[in-house]
């Protein structure tokens, strides 16, 4: 595909990106035209009743193949859930916790994971060790220092929803394994923007409605095959066994190998169709090209924020960030409202404003941000860096 063809395809698939400066992928990715086509294909298959079932299951298998190719894992090591919170809950509640165990997590995590840990702590008394950030940053060593022989699980986002910091997953995985702990990585804010491979992590989760430009209603869970079912307790059902109609079905539980055993019943096929086709488009646009574009736009936005004297929370080094650029400001709400009035969609809450450009963000969008942000920030006391 030539550069012009790619730009035309992006404009045709994401028309909303032409109407507004859309910089809010970290909350909601824009859906491409693939969404409507995929849902229509699902509807056409469903209208055929049981005759459409083969297409449903083929699409689900094909989706897992696309995900497995990206993540460099096997399809059987993936399970589909309705949300990341549900996938993380499956791991949290499935591990064989003992009194005195702890989970290590940071305050740069999306609240869903933290709430899951705190709820489990109330139930069975595990210790929740929270590593605190300073101005959006945490060093690997600070996490490693909190992991000990009683740590059963480390939970870490690949890219923080809060500050945009991209963690060195390999280094933290090594630190966790050195102490015999498992690691769960949340790739919701990176998969679709920058390369994500499972490597040696034990669990990896990601939602589909942000950087993957899919719909709500499905999320993935990867579980490392070397582990012999580390989740001693988990939900399952007829989708999780090798032969649900086999003669032994009233006597024997014969789970599928790998994470596929954690799937219980009929999955969310509309969401599967949506994600399947969204991935097809992202693959056609070329993931390394998307990564370069995201990095360039995020870098330019970060530079603009620095130029305006804002208290930027996101590291400068492209290896330590992906598509999120955030700054702290006491007037984040007013600045965000002023940007919205000028046609810029960003995310702002709890004293932070966050930009998140994606494949559909053009150079013209970033140029348009300059006067809008300058005017929105102008006259407001900047926080000291
Ligand atoms: C890092 C991260 N994980 C997960 C989610 C979403 O979780 P869920 O699929 O449970 O809604 C979000 C944002 O909504 C997020 O930023």
Q: Is the distance from CB of 368 to CB of 344 less than 8 angstroms?
A: yes
- pLDDT tens track for 306-362: 999 999 999 999 999 999 999 999 999 999 999 999 999 999 998 999 999 999 999
Atom of ligand 1 nearest to the CA of 109: 1
Q: Is 83 in the pocket of ligand 1 (CB under 6 A)?
A: yes
The pair of three-digit structure tokens given for residue 260, joined into one six-digit string? 């596929």
- What is the DSSP track for 75-115? GGGEEEES-HHHHHHHHHHHS---TT-EEEEETTS-HHHHH
CA separation (Å) from 369 to 29, 208, 277, 305, 377?
A: 19, 27, 31, 10, 12
Q: Is residue 112 lining ligand 1, measured as CB closer than 6 Å?
A: yes
pLDDT, position 252: 87
Determine how many CB atoms are found less than 10 A away from the CB of residue 87. Answer: 28
**Ligand 1 pocket test, candidate residues 84, 157, 185, most atoms within 8 A of CB:** 84
Report whether residue 219 contacts ligand 1, using a CB cutoff of 6 Å: yes
How far apart are the CA of 322 and the centre of ligand 1, in A? 16
pLDDT at 383: 56
CA nearest ligand 1 atom 3, residue: 188
Q: If you average pLDDT over residues 254-278, what whole number do you get?
A: 95
User: Mean pLDDT throughout 163-169?
Assistant: 98
Nearest Cα to Cα of residue 166 among 181, 198, 188 = 188
Q: Is 161 in the pocket of ligand 1 (CB under 6 A)?
A: yes
Q: Please tell me the predicted confidence (pLDDT) of residue 381.
A: 64
Q: Is the pLDDT of residue 22 over 90?
A: yes
Task: Label residue 247 by pLDDT band (50, 70, 90).
Answer: confident
User: Whose alpha carbon is nearest atom 7 of ligand 1?
Assistant: 84
C-beta separation of 333 from 348 below 8 A: yes
CA gap 357, 258 in Å, rounded: 35
**pLDDT of the residue at 380:** 77
Residue 385 has pLDDT above 60, yes or no: no
- Per the DSSP assignment, residues forming a β-bridge with 156 are 185
Mean pLDDT (whole number) for 122-145: 97
- DSSP one-letter code for 52: G
213 in ligand 1 pocket by Cβ < 6 Å? Answer: no
Candidates 80, 91, 161: which one to mutate for ligand 1, based on the most atoms within 8 Å of Cβ? 161
Ligand 1 centroid to residue 27 C-alpha, Å: 9
Find the 95 Cα to ligand 1 centroid distance in Å.
Answer: 21
pLDDT mean over 20-44: 98
- Residue that the structure tokens 């009743």 belong to: 49
271-278 mean pLDDT:
98
Q: What pairs with residue 51 in β-bridges?
A: none
* From 188, 196, 217, mutation site for ligand 1 pocket: most ligand atoms within 8 A of C-beta: 188
Neighbours of 347 (CB within 10 A): 20
Atom of ligand 1 nearest to the CA of 161: 16
Q: Return all residues near 281 (Cβ < 8 A) that are at least 6 apart.
A: 13, 32, 34, 213
Q: Is the CB of 190 under 6 A from ligand 1?
A: no
188 lines ligand 1 (CB under 6 A): yes
pTM equals 0.97
Min mean pLDDT across 76-85, 250-259, 282-291 is at: 250-259
Among the ranges given (174-183, 211-220, 238-247, 367-376), the one the predictor scored with the smallest mean pLDDT: 238-247
- Rounded distance between C-alpha atoms, residue 225 and residue 206, angstroms: 18
pLDDT of residue 227: 63
186 lines ligand 1 (CB under 6 A): yes
Q: How sure is the predictor about 232, in pLDDT bands with cuts at 50, 70 and 90? A: confident
Question: What pLDDT does residue 376 have?
Answer: 97
């Amino acid at each position: 595909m030539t550069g012009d063809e790619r730009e035309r395809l992006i404009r045709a698939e994401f028309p909303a990106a032409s109407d507004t400066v859309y910089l809010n992928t970290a909350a909601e990715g824009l859906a491409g035209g693939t969404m409507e086509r995929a849902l229509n294909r699902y509807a056409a298959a469903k209208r055929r009743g049981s005759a459409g079932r083969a297409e449903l299951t083929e699409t689900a298998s094909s989706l897992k193949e696309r995900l497995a190719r990206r993540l460099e894992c096997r399809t059987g090591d993936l399970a589909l859930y309705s949300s990341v919170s549900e996938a993380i809950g499956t791991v949290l509640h499935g591990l064989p916790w003992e009194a005195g165990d702890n989970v290590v997590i940071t305050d740069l995590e999306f609240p869903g994971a933290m709430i899951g840990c705190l709820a489990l702590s109330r139930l069975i008394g595990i210790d929740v060790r929270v590593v605190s950030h300073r101005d959006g940053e945490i060093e690997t060593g600070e996490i490693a220092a909190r992991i000990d022989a009683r740590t059963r699980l480390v939970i870490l986002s690949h890219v923080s929803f809060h500050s945009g910091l991209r963690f060195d997953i390999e280094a933290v995985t090594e630190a966790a394994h050195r102490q015999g702990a498992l690691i769960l990585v949340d790739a919701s804010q990176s998969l679709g923007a920058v390369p994500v491979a499972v490597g040696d992590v034990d669990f990896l989760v990601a939602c589909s409605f942000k950087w993957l430009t899919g719909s709500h209603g499905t999320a993935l869970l990867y579980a490392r095959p070397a582990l012999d079912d580390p989740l001693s307790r988990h939900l399952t059902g007829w989708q999780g066994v090798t032969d649900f109609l086999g003669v032994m079905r009233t006597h024997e539980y014969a789970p599928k190998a790998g994470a596929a055993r954690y799937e219980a019943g009929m999955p969310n096929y509309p969401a599967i169709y949506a994600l399947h086709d969204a991935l097809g488009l992202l693959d056609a646009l070329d993931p390394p090209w998307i990564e370069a574009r995201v990095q360039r736009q995020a870098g330019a936005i970060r530079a603009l924020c620095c130029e305006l004297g804002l208290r930027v929370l996101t590291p400068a080094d492209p290896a330590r960030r992906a598509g999120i650029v955030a700054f702290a400001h006491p007037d984040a709400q007013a600045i965000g409202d002023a940007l919205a009035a000028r046609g810029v969609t960003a995310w702002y809450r709890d004293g932070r404003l966050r930009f998140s450009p994606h494949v559909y963000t053009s150079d013209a969008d970033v140029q348009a941000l300059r006067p809008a942000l300058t005017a929105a920030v102008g006259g407001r006391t900047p926080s000291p860096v």
